[in-house]
Amino acid sequence: MKKIFIAISIVAVLLPACKDQVLDQVPQGALAEGVEVDEGIMENLITAAYSSLTARFIGLHHVTFQGPTTNWIADIRSDDAYKGGGGIVDQVPMHQAETYVLNPTNDLAFNKWLNLTWAIARVNVAISNLLEYENPNYPSEIRMAEMRFLRAHFHFDMVRNYNQVPWLDENVLGSEASNTTYTKEELLELIEADMQFAYDHLPLSQPELGRVNKYTAAAYMCKILVEEKKWSEVIPFADEVIGSGQYALLNEFEDLASLDFENSSEIVFTVQFALTENPDLGHNIGNILNVTYSNAYPGGDDFYLASQNLVNAFKTDANGLPVFDGFDNPPHATGASYLNPVDPRVDFSLGRNNIPWKQSGIYTFSEWGRSADYPNNYSSKKHVIDSNDPRMHDGLPWAASGLNFAIIRYAEVLLWKAEALIEGNIDLNEARALINQIRNRAKNSTYVRTLDGVSTAANYAIEPYPTTGWNQSYARQALRRERRLELAMEGHRLFDLNRWGITAQTISEYLSDEYTVTPYLEGVEFVEGTHEYYPIPQAELDKNPGLYQQNNGY
């Protein structure tokens, strides 16, 4: 099948960004005045909208890691991850986010906002032209559904990151947009309506990889409806994906980080990247900083490190079930020296001390870490391929490849349905069966082994949940832990905590203990009702006085 490469070849005016203009800028990908739209230009506008998923805007190369392809910068504001890098003074805006001293001039908050608003602007340019484009042989309705899908996606990301945001459609001028027009609940309804349109008008399949289809929209409807706590409405959309026969869990968990399986049956919605000689044009460099600092790769900046709390969450008991009470107590599951059982997904997801890193060698804190500020530097494995793979880019950006970025995996669809069944108290046994599908995949995967292949690299133990004691309270606890383990280092944790309403409690408990391992966290405080979200960028407030209301506490 033909692949939509994330690159732009468009007859258009491409304008660079500048920090004193945001929503009222002409978006990159907008047509020059007087250009007549034909089918080729229309397709280029569609491709430009899709390419916004990579946030590779001209003039914005330095903010790729704040784009829609990865939310690792949200993970560092949760209990799952540290900023990492060359110490706490490296990328100060990120350190401010991690330690909850954000302010409205923080570059991280500004650049994320900028990437999302420009992405929405590109989509709206395509929508405006689709509304006027008349060609009976062109699939206008399908393309409109694709654009409504993308607009919903980008708005959803804005709401999750900033809480109170403007609704930007093809009829709204950026200079007139306000974040007080709609409540968060009303915004989610508008997002749901866009995604419903996409679901109603998209085909079951597409001839090109990268284009969304009806099942992609059904899965995203689950994502939105779970956020809205519309539990009974989640289930039929999840069932459509599950019953389609097009999706299934991979047999091997580790294959999720393989180029050979990047468009596998487990992938429902993914950002397509290309293998190109020029990594700026195709490689997934949203994770440009997130490569372990070692000789295994030609370099590495060592950002995005798993927290000790997350690593300890992989502890299991003698029955192969998660340890819930006291899981974060010493001894810590630092690596090979920890002899108690752990979930095997821990060593598929991140590097631990004296455990093999893929096929590249033994990972050690002393030789693979960059800064003493992070003594236990658990680097993420999920977004990089094996260093021995010839398809890895040689040089800057470190460890770049054409590895796609999965926004929705089939495993998450199963977990969304399970969550709806539990929270709605609809069918706890079916929820358990869904969670156990995921646990059994991990159980039956080939475990990480010592480099000589003689034995497993650690004491791995994982079993499905039994029926005994499976009530709603325990099922909820199991579901939430399963999301944390299965989706570790994929950028979901903060958003999960927010929608469960337990962010302040969870982060406060985390900070009260994590500083004993990572000393710079001592004295850090999370303020409930403020730190769940970024501030609205000051540049937006200054540019459009009176139209924006700052988030609480900033």
Question: Which residues are CB-neighbours of 111 under 8 A, at least 6 positions away?
Answer: 60, 63, 66
**What's the gap between Cα 382 and its chain centre?**
12
pLDDT tens, position by position, 408-445: 999 999 999 999 999 999 999 999 999 999 999 999 99
pLDDT over 70 at 468, yes or no: yes
pLDDT over 80 at 280, yes or no: no
pLDDT band at 31 (very low <50, low <70, confident <90, very high): low
Helix (H, G, I), strand (E, B) or coil at 376: coil
pLDDT band at 498 (very low <50, low <70, confident <90, very high): very high
Residue 351 forms part of a structural domain: no
Spatial separation of the C-alpha atoms in residues 422 and 427, rounded to whole Å: 7
Give the number of other Cβ atoms within 10 Å of residue 366's Cβ. 8
Q: What is the pLDDT of residue 61?
A: 47
pLDDT over 70 at 27, yes or no: no
pLDDT over 70 at 467, yes or no: yes
Q: pLDDT above 90 covers what percent of the chain?
A: 77
- Quick check: 75 and 81 in contact, CB under 8 A? yes
Residue 306 forms part of a structural domain: no
Residue 479, token pair as written in the block? 């579901």
* Average pLDDT of the residues in 453-460: 97
Q: What is the chain's length?
A: 554
CATH of the domain at 155: 1.25.40.390
* Average pLDDT of the residues in 481-503: 98
* HEC secondary structure over 416-474: HHHHHHHHCCCCHHHHHHHHHHHHHHHHHCCCCECCCCCCECCCECCCCCCCCCCCHHH
Helix (H, G, I), strand (E, B) or coil at 265: coil
Would you list the DSSP string of 298-356?
S----EEEE-HHHHHHTBB-TTS-B--TTTTSSSP--BTT--S-B-TTHHHHB--BTEE
Spatial separation of the C-alpha atoms in residues 423 and 419, rounded to whole Å: 6
Helix (H, G, I), strand (E, B) or coil at 55: coil
> Which domain, by its residues, includes 148?
2-285+405-543
Choose among 160, 113, 538, 155: nearest CA to 554.
538
pLDDT over 60 at 24, yes or no: no
Residue 96 forms part of a structural domain: yes
pLDDT tens, position by position, 350-407: 999 999 999 899 999 999 999 999 999 999 999 889 988 988 877 777 787 888 899 9
Question: Which residues are CB-neighbours of 545 under 8 A, at least 6 positions away?
Answer: none
Give the number of other Cβ atoms within 10 Å of residue 272's Cβ. 23
Residue 312 forms part of a structural domain: no
Q: What is the pLDDT of residue 285?
A: 61
pLDDT tens, position by position, 295-354: 888 778 899 999 999 999 999 999 999 999 999 999 999 999 999 999 999 999 999 999
What's the total number of domains in the chain?
Answer: 1
Q: How far is CA 319 from CA 114, 185, 278, in A?
A: 48, 42, 49
Q: What is the pLDDT of residue 34?
A: 64
87-109 CB burial, b ≥16 within 10 A, e <16: ebebbebbbbbbbeebebebbbb
**What's the gap between Cα 248 and its chain centre?**
20
pLDDT band at 6 (very low <50, low <70, confident <90, very high): very low
Residue 38 forms part of a structural domain: yes
pLDDT over 90 at 182, yes or no: yes
Helix (H, G, I), strand (E, B) or coil at 267: strand
Residue 288, token pair as written in the block? 């440009």
Q: What is the pLDDT of residue 274?
A: 76
Q: What is the pLDDT of residue 281?
A: 55
Pairing of strands 267-271, 2-3: unpaired
Would you list the DSSP string of 73-102?
HHHTTTTSEEEESS-TTTTHHHHHHHTT--
Spatial separation of the C-alpha atoms in residues 173 and 164, rounded to whole Å: 18
* Average pLDDT of the residues in 259-283: 81
**DSSP-H helix ranges across 359-401:** 365-368
Q: What is the pLDDT of residue 294?
A: 86
Residue 317 forms part of a structural domain: no
Q: What is the pLDDT of residue 328?
A: 98
Choose among 442, 284, 286, 448: nearest CA to 360.
448
Q: What is the pLDDT of residue 36?
A: 86
Residue 400 forms part of a structural domain: no
pLDDT band at 276 (very low <50, low <70, confident <90, very high): low
Spatial separation of the C-alpha atoms in residues 38 and 134, rounded to whole Å: 9
* Average pLDDT of the residues in 150-174: 96
Q: Decide which of 283 and 75 is more confident.
A: 75
Q: What is the pLDDT of residue 401?
A: 85
Q: How far is CA 50 from CA 68, 219, 409, in A?
A: 11, 18, 19
Q: What is the pLDDT of residue 54?
A: 82
Mean pLDDT, the chain, as a whole number?
Answer: 90
Choose among 491, 475, 515: nearest CA to 328.
515
Element (H, E) at 554: none
Q: Decide which of 65 and 187 is more confident.
A: 187
Question: Which residues are CB-neighbours of 83 under 8 A, at least 6 positions away?
Answer: 76, 90, 91, 94, 95, 97, 98, 303, 304, 305
Pairing of strands 378-379, 362-363: unpaired
Residue 333 forms part of a structural domain: no
Q: CA angle, 83 as apex, 78 and 85 as ends, to 5°?
A: 165
With tokens 């480099």, the residue in question is 451
Residue 490, token pair as written in the block? 């994929």
Q: What is the pLDDT of residue 282?
A: 58
pLDDT tens, position by position, 219-239: 999 999 999 999 999 999 999
With tokens 């001209």, the residue in question is 58
